[in-house]
Amino acid sequence: MRSLVCWVYLNLKYQLRPLPTDPVHLEKIAIDLNVPLAFTYKWHGLDVALAQERIHECLKSFRWRAPLVLVVLSVALIISGIISQCYSLIKFAMDNVLEPGRP
């Protein structure tokens, strides 16, 4: 669940502005998104352009899943709310309507 929240946050954040060029910050983003950076290193350090490209690919690959995840979560919350309301209505009916003389 943490990775989904992190992905949503990073996807929204980097839709509005470009990815950073700092290698340390890019590595942290890649770790949060589970993007392998093993082949993005040059002799002198991280290849920033290639790392940014891989992070963009990761963000784009999950983009089609986001509406599906939101719909599934919304439907699950709606169903749980309906079940909760039905349970409380049945409990109220059992306690007050069907047996009103019971203390």
Q: How confident is the model at residue 59, as a pLDDT? A: 79
Q: Can you tell me the distance from the alpha carbon of 62 to that of 56, in angstroms, rounded to the nearest whole number? A: 10
Is residue 103 over pLDDT 60? no
Q: Can you tell me the distance from the alpha carbon of 91 to that of 71, in angstroms, rounded to the nearest whole number? A: 30
What phi and psi, each to the nearest 5 degrees, are found at residue 42? -100, -175
- The domain locations on the chain are 1-63, 65-103
Q: Residue 59 pairs with which residues in a beta bridge?
A: none
Q: Which of 25, 14, 26 is nearest to 52 (CA)?
A: 26
Q: How confident is the model at residue 78, as a pLDDT? A: 96
12-70 pLDDT per residue, tens: 787 778 888 888 888 888 888 788 876 666 666 777 888 888 888 887 776 666 677 77
Is residue 85 over pLDDT 90? yes
